[in-house]
């Protein structure tokens, strides 16, 4: 008779949890998984997937305008049906929910719907029932925050609510300068809203290459976004049918909606972690070692709940590796955290892999930098002023490419392939010896020959 009810109990059916459960099941483990909200987690339901669908929708606003430059007559100004867009996005999200559930069922996993809590060593309680498992995996992800500023809790929105707004906001204020804030500012600007984006710092996308940050900021202003730096919201009050938003610089703005995209916290509250001694850091993230082991024997954690590299593909990779180690007899399996590509689906999008120039220099790595800035063919015909930035950061001694950064159309599709080359150890000479694909923007990566001048001192 088995000592435990399950070999693995997964708390959280997001990307990492589902992958771990599914692979463990395929290895023959007895697996259960609990989800209190929706299968697929943030990414599928209120994150990457529906946001990318809204990005597609926002692009059409520009496409209708650009068509005239290519000989098309658009008979009347197109209008957005927000209710239809919401319904279609929700339909696609629902389809993906079903796929995630079927993947788990196909792997033989037992599914519990509800909030699971650790009740003691190897013990989980859910829906009034208690079960046991040899291994417990916590993969509950993160949750968006609202600040304590007056009116924020009553009138502020988080990214979770932006996909189901009852009414399209003609005037939107976005607080924040990271991925989520910038993407939603671009989406609603493209859909026809008047957007103001506020950021407390000097430039958006902290942590990205400085050229990328400055270039994108300029492009967002060109597109019509009112981008304000060194500014935060101090108060929100209701004023008739709109919101009156007071800013830290003393100004006031009227808005129909206010989005706070100022950060996310690991969703670790009320999980019973303290009952087995799982340690958290000062941000509420679960502390783990290189094997995803927490401070409690038999309890593991991965993905955004550990607040390390908060990207869906990273959680997927970690879930797969953990299942292979525990049940697939592959103790040496590991996630490669080098050269992880990432994208910001702004308009235009940003994609990057490897080190920003500033990081390399801060580490004392002598680098050569290659950079180009141009107007793409399509925009020249369309009469659109949007430009593209491409940049290579090359380790001077070895000539190995250690950073690739781009802002422009189709950027994420290009950077995925570039990441493969970088992980294979590509040098600048490898790029130089590669024949370009013409006419494309991507060919610029293999035709840049002139080094950029040494930078001015950093701020």
pLDDT in tens, the chain (459 residues): 579 999 999 999 999 999 999 999 999 999 999 999 999 999 999 999 999 999 999 999 889 989 999 999 988 888 999 999 999 999 999 999 999 999 999 999 999 999 999 999 999 999 999 999 999 999 999 999 999 999 999 999 999 999 999 999 999 999 999 999 999 999 999 999 999 999 999 999 999 999 999 999 999 999 999 999 999 999 999 999 999 999 999 999 999 999 999 999 999 999 999 999 999 999 999 999 999 999 999 999 999 999 999 999 999 999 999 999 999 999 999 999 999 999 999 999 999 999 999 999 999 999 999 999 999 999 989 989 899 999 999 999 999 999 999 999 999 999 999 999 999 999 999 999 999 999 999 999 999 999 999 876 654
Q: Note the pLDDT of residue 75.
A: 84
Question: Could you tell me if 91 and 181 lie in one domain?
Answer: no
Nearest CA to 406 among 129, 216, 225?
Answer: 216
Of the residues 262, 287, 318, which one is the last residue of a structural domain? 262
Question: Could you tell me if 94 and 195 lie in one domain?
Answer: no
Nearest CA to 367 among 448, 428, 420, 426?
Answer: 428
Question: Could you tell me if 196 and 118 lie in one domain?
Answer: no
Q: Which residue has the tokens 């005037």?
A: 171
Could you give phi then psi for residue 53, rounded to 5 degrees? -65, -40
Q: What are the distances in angstroms from CA 247 to CA 55, 175, 203, 251, 258?
A: 28, 11, 18, 5, 12
Question: Could you tell me if 69 and 53 lie in one domain?
Answer: yes
Torsion sign (Cα): 354, 359, 365, 367: positive
CATH at 397: 3.30.390.30
Q: What are the distances in angstroms from CA 256 to CA 14, 194, 242, 307, 411?
A: 32, 10, 5, 33, 32
Inside any domain, residue 451:
no
Inside any domain, residue 149:
no
Known binding positions for FAD: 52, 304
State how far the Cα of 434 lies from the Cα of 415, in Å rounded to an integer: 16
Inside any domain, residue 10:
yes
Q: 391 near 404, Cβ under 8 Å?
A: yes
Inside any domain, residue 157:
no
Question: Could you tell me if 400 and 274 lie in one domain?
Answer: no
State how far the Cα of 10 lies from the Cα of 300, in Å rounded to an integer: 9
State how far the Cα of 414 lies from the Cα of 394, in Å rounded to an integer: 18
Please identify every residue annotated as catalytic: 438
Q: What is the domain extent for residue 88?
A: 6-142+265-328
Inside any domain, residue 111:
yes
Of the residues 262, 280, 302, which one is the last residue of a structural domain? 262
Q: Which residue has the tokens 């925009």?
A: 379
Strands (E), 349-457: 350-354, 367-374, 388-395, 401-407
Question: Could you tell me if 398 and 415 lie in one domain?
Answer: yes
State how far the Cα of 450 lies from the Cα of 161, in Å rounded to an integer: 47
Q: 153 near 236, Cβ under 8 Å?
A: no
Question: Could you tell me if 12 and 133 lie in one domain?
Answer: yes
**Which runs of consecutive H residues, i.e. helices, occur in 40-145?**
41-46, 48-66, 82-106
Inside any domain, residue 79:
yes
Question: Could you tell me if 306 and 365 lie in one domain?
Answer: no
Number of domains within the chain? 3
For residue 123, the cross-strand partners are 120, 132
Known binding positions for NAD(+): 176-183, 263
Of the residues 262, 280, 313, which one is the last residue of a structural domain? 262
DSSP state of 121: T
Question: Could you tell me if 135 and 26 lie in one domain?
Answer: yes
Nearest CA to 42 among 280, 315, 259?
Answer: 315
Q: Note the pLDDT of residue 61.
A: 87
Question: Could you tell me if 274 and 132 lie in one domain?
Answer: yes
Inside any domain, residue 161:
no
Q: 273 near 191, Cβ under 8 Å?
A: no
CATH at 199: 3.50.50.60
Question: Could you tell me if 320 and 356 lie in one domain?
Answer: no
Known binding positions: 52, 176-183, 263, 304
Burial 326-361 (b: 16+ CB within 10 A, else e): bbbeeeeeebeeebbbbbbbbbbbbbbbbbbbbebb
Inside any domain, residue 278:
yes
Question: Could you tell me if 136 and 281 lie in one domain?
Answer: yes
């Amino acid at each position: 008779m088995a000592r435990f009810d399950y070999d693995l109990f997964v708390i959280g059916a997001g990307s990492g949890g589902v992958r771990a459960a599914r692979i463990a099941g395929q290895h023959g483990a007895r697996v259960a998984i609990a989800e209190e909200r929706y299968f697929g987690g943030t990414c599928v339901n209120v994150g990457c997937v529906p946001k990318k669908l809204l990005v597609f929708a926002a692009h059409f606003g520009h496409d209708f305008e650009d068509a005239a430059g290519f000989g098309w007559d658009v008979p009347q100004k197109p209008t957005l049906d927000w209710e239809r867009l919401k319904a279609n996005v929700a339909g696609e999200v629902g389809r993906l929910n079903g796929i995630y559930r079927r993947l788990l069922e196909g792997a033989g996993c037992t599914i519990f719907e509800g909030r699971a809590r650790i009740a003691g060593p190897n013990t989980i309680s859910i829906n009034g029932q208690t079960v046991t498992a040899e291994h417990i995996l916590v993969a509950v992800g993160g949750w968006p925050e609202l600040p304590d500023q007056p009116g924020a809790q009553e009138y502020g929105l988080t990214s979770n609510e932006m996909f189901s707004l009852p009414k399209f906001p003609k005037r939107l204020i976005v607080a924040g300068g990271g991925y989520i804030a910038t993407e939603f500012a671009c989406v609603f600007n493209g859909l026809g809203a008047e957007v103001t984006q506020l950021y407390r710092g000097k430039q958006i996308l902290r942590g990205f290459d400085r050229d990328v940050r400055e270039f994108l900021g300029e492009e967002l202003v060109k597109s019509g976004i009112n981008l304000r730096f060194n500014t935060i919201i101090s108060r929100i009050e209701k004023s008739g049918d709109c919101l009156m938003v007071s800013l830290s610089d003393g100004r006031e703005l009227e808005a129909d909606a206010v989005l706070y995209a100022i950060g996310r916290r690991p969703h670790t509250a009320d999980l019973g972690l303290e009952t087995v001694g799982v340690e958290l850091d000062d941000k509420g993230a679960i502390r783990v070692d290189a094997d995803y082991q927490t401070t409690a024997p038999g309890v593991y954690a991965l993905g955004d709940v550990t607040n390390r590299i908060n990207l869906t593909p990273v959680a997927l990779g970690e879930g797969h590796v953990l299942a292979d180690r525990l049940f697939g007899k592959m103790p040496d399996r590991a996630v490669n955290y080098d050269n992880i590509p990432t994208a910001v689906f702004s308009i235009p999008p940003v994609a990057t892999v490897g080190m920003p120039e500033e990081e390399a220099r801060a580490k004392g790595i002598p680098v050569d930098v290659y950079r180009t800035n141009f107007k793409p063919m399509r925009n020249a015909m369309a009469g659109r002023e949007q430009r593209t930035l491409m940049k290579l950061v090359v380790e001077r001694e070895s000539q190995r490419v250690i950073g690739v950064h781009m802002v422009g159309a189709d950027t994420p599709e290009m950077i995925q392939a570039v990441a493969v080359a970088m992980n294979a150890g590509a040098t600048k000479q490898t790029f130089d010896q590669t024949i370009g694909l013409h006419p494309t923007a991507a060919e610029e990566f293999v035709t840049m020959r002139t080094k950029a001048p040494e930078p001015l001192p950093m701020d």
